[in-house]
Structure 1
Amino acid sequence: MSKLDDVLQKDLVDAMKAKDMDRLTVLRMLKTMLTNTKIQKQREQLEESEVLEVIQKQAKQRKESIESFEKAGRQDLAEKEKREYAILAKYLPEQLSDEQIRELAVNAIQTLGLKTKADLGRLMKELMPSVKGKADGKKVNEIIASLLS
């Protein structure tokens, strides 16, 4: 079991003991998603990065749901999704700020000598491995596009 998997299991037990239904529901769903991923990959254990990937995917789904519910005027459902996102966010690494992403992008632009929007793909390819898990690809793309324009 990965460290993160152990933490999730311990928190699941704690949520059961505390009768914290919101946290319990989210953690059970997460454990189910991890089990499904293990079955899909036909492996007994997942690596730390794979566990993190599943959590990020679930967090991203919550963010998208929040936006959709707010557009539809369903504040009750948006609040529920926000609570679930907050629970998931505890297991994610600290996200990079826009300024940190901009700094990494500027360094990469100078190192590679990129100047035009046509270089966007090359810059993304260079930058994404270093920010994977720490920044949303969409946000990185927006910042890079503004720098290359």
Structure 2
Amino acid sequence: MALIDKLKQEQKSAMRAKDKIRLGTIRLALSAIKQREVDERITLSDDEIVAVLTKMVKQRRDSFAQYESAGRQDLADAEKAEITVLEEFMPQPLTETEVAALIANAVTESSAKGMQDMGKVMALLKPQLQGRADMGKVSGLVKAQLA
């Protein structure tokens, strides 16, 4: 089942269950997906939808951290609930060892010699890791391996 269809099915289920937080979060996700489709005049693939969801989760994590530091636990809890709902639709995250193995494989495959080849390595990794690992951490790991 396509990811967009799964989101729409879950939206209907949330409506029937009268789960307002889940319903609102799924509506936000569908709205963001539709906005990108309209802006770019394309139909998004599952990988592109995962990229949209990844961006939404990242935004909510940033908001969560800011709310917690400001002492607004009520708002932080709302962001945490939205993160939980969004992560249900994302692929399973990879473990540290799986990420390390993919990085080693990409370095070997791209024949990377140093930092000047980081772009090649990241280009190979991005499709494999999109939505399954924090790309900021992956970038740091690649830098460490190439240094």
Question: TM-score by structure 1 length?
Answer: 0.84
Q: In 2, Cα distance between the equivalents of 1:143 and 1:38?
A: 33
Do the aligned partners of 1:101 and 1:143 also contact (CA within 8 Å) in 2? no
Paired residue for 1:14?
Answer: 13
Structure 2 residue identity aligned to 1:134: R
Gaps of 5+ in 2: none
Residue 92 and residue 10 in structure 1: after superposition, are their counterparts in 2 closer, same or farther (change >3 A)?
A: same
Percent identity at matched positions? Answer: 33
Provide the aligned C-alpha RMSD in A: 2.0
Tell me: CA distance 1:34–1:127, structure 2 relative to 1, closer, same or farther (3 Å).
closer
Note the alpha carbon deviations across 1:37-72, whole angstroms, 9 max, x for none: 2211224x4322222222222111111212222232
Q: For 1:110 and 1:67, how far apart are their aligned partners in 2?
A: 37
Which deviates further from its counterpart, 82-91 or 132-141? 132-141
Count of residues paired in the alignment: 147
TM-score (norm 2): 0.85
Gaps of at least 5 residues in structure 1 are none
Displacement of 1:109 in angstroms is 2.7
Q: Per-residue deviation at 1:118?
A: 4.0
Aligned-pair distance for 1:5?
Answer: 1.3
